[in-house]
Amino acid sequence: MLKKILVALDRSEMGQEVFTQALSLAKVMSAELLLLHVLSPEEDGSPYIPMLYNVDYYPGLSGQSLDLYQKQWDSFKDEGVRMLQSFCAQANLADVKAEFSQILGNPGNTICKLATQWNADLIVMGHRGRSGLAEFFLGSVSNYVLHHANYSVYIVHYPRNLTSPEKTVEKAAENASVS
């Protein structure tokens, strides 16, 4: 029986679906949730690190660039905390015990380490659907976790061209009525 579910989240629509499915599992299993957001420069929407190789040529650039980057990074962190707080509140309203953590690091490695520290029974996460060169150069967090975690991993996946799981159901219903 599952008692502890670690849920790896990001700010995408996939993150919402991952949370929804993890919450459903937690309700059925009477499990608690640990909601995790890993702060990473690779995440969509993450601010870019300022280019510091021009510092000597443009002396005023470094201070301004670093200040702008710090403001963007602080905003990025705050958005992550607000997302986690919102999901945690939704879980608590559904009578599911939940806590959250936001950690800076490599997503795959961080997920595996936290699952071990928290003694998770299951890791729930999404899969972006990268393939080919994109997966080769950028890697796949879900693939890393599948091969390195000492726990069961539940991967939430739906096609990229769909904007939400509800539309998947609507489209299936339309196709069924046409047949």
* Confidence category of residue 49, pLDDT binned at 50, 70, 90: low
Give residue-wise pLDDT tens across range 56-98.
555 555 667 778 888 988 999 999 999 999 999 999 999 999 9
- pLDDT for residue 170: 46
Residue 127: both structure tokens together: 């899969």
In the chain, domain spans: 4-178
Residues near 13 by Cβ (< 8 Å), separated by ≥ 6?
163, 164
Q: How far apart are CA 83 and CA 89, in angstroms?
A: 10
High-pLDDT (> 90) share of the chain, %: 51
Other C-beta atoms within 10 Å of 66: how many?
A: 14
The second-level CATH assignment, the architecture, of 4-178 is 3-Layer(aba) Sandwich (3.40)
